[in-house]
């Protein structure tokens, strides 16, 4: 195989990876703009997935105790930020409750996703880059956990307000 052929193959795999990321991001933005049917399962599926990814990273990389502490500090900071920034707009469509997530959190998630993907893809064997990517993963995990808790509380408030409006009519 010539150097040109290897380079062309690497270029096509890069384009495929970029296309995959673009599809994921487009889907996420579209779902947020349109709204998502509210179920506790859907609300907590993303945080559970992120927790598993974060824990899996401990199995892949051997972190120092300082790096592990940093990851959990970022997780806690993300939970706090997600709780504060997490907002949701609830609406009824066809008798079912839907919600739209906070555009701020979606924006942070997209920027984090692109940065993590780009760094991990371009510098797969650089230890400091791996730590930065994992730190972003832990912060984003916390952000999504905090947002889910915030949305859950706002949903309970939405249900109470909806039942008050229904009974007062």
The domain ranges of the chain are 36-168
Give the tens place of pLDDT for each residue, 22-40. Answer: 888 788 788 888 888 888 8
Q: What is the pLDDT of residue 8?
A: 44
pTM: 0.76
pLDDT of residue 151: 92
Q: What pLDDT does residue 167 have?
A: 52
pLDDT at position 78: 95
Which among 127, 123, 100, 105 is positioned nearest to 50, based on CA atoms?
Answer: 105
By C-alpha distance, which of 109, 100, 115 is closest to 140? 109
* pLDDT on residue 11: 53
Handedness of CA 126, 128, 134, 136 (dihedral sign): negative
Whole-number pLDDT of residue 77: 97
């Amino acid at each position: 195989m010539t150097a040109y052929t290897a380079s062309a193959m690497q270029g096509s795999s890069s384009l495929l990876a970029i296309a995959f990321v673009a599809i994921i991001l487009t889907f996420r933005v579209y779902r947020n703009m349109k709204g998502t049917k509210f179920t506790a399962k859907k609300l907590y599926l993303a945080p559970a997935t992120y927790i598993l990814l974060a824990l899996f990273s401990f199995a892949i990389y051997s972190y120092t105790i300082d790096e592990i502490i940093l990851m959990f500090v970022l997780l806690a900071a993300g939970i706090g930020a997600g709780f504060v920034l997490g907002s949701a707009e609830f609406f009824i469509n066809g008798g079912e409750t839907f919600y739209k997530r906070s555009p701020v959190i979606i924006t942070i998630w997209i920027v984090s996703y692109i940065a993590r993907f780009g760094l991990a893809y371009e510098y797969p064997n650089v230890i400091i880059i791996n730590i930065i990517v994992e730190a972003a993963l832990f912060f984003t995990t916390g952000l999504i956990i905090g947002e889910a808790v915030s949305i859950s509380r706002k949903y309970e408030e939405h249900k109470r307000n909806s039942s008050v409006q229904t009974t007062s009519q």
